[in-house]
Amino acid sequence: MDLDYVTGMIMRIGVILSISLVALGVILILVEGHACSYSESVLFSRTSYVNSSIANLSYIIKGFTNISGLSFIYLGLIILVSVPILRTALALVYFAYEKNKLYIILTIIVLFNLVFAILFLPSIIK
């Protein structure tokens, strides 16, 4: 298994999928003029109060059933943030396969830091 090749493919696919979803979401918002009861002017304002704190999994799924552009944008951003986590998890599997104990420990620390910073730290900072 060539870690560099697989990692490169995951990064490319993740970024392309993310960009595609975000672009589709923006196009949907521009065509409809709103998303999830937020007007276009509110969504694209520099001082918009719409941010990721309003998006949870049920909100995103509900937005997909209504074909809301905001849900496509949120999913694209989730995928973009998930790519480094997936890459680190893949490296952990590779190092475990190679039985490289030092890199297993270092990768577990990095993976813990990523997951902690993304999932738990925002709720602690509030």
- Which alpha helices (H) appear in 1-126, and where do they start and end? 3-32, 40-43, 57-65, 69-98, 101-115, 121-125
Query: Averaged in consecutive runs of 10 residues, what is the pLDDT profile of the chain (126 residues)?
Result: 83 94 89 72 66 69 78 88 91 92 95 88 75
Residue 66 backbone dihedrals phi, psi, to 5 degrees: -95, 5
User: What is the value of pTM for the model shown?
Assistant: 0.76
- Name the token pair of 80: 């973009």
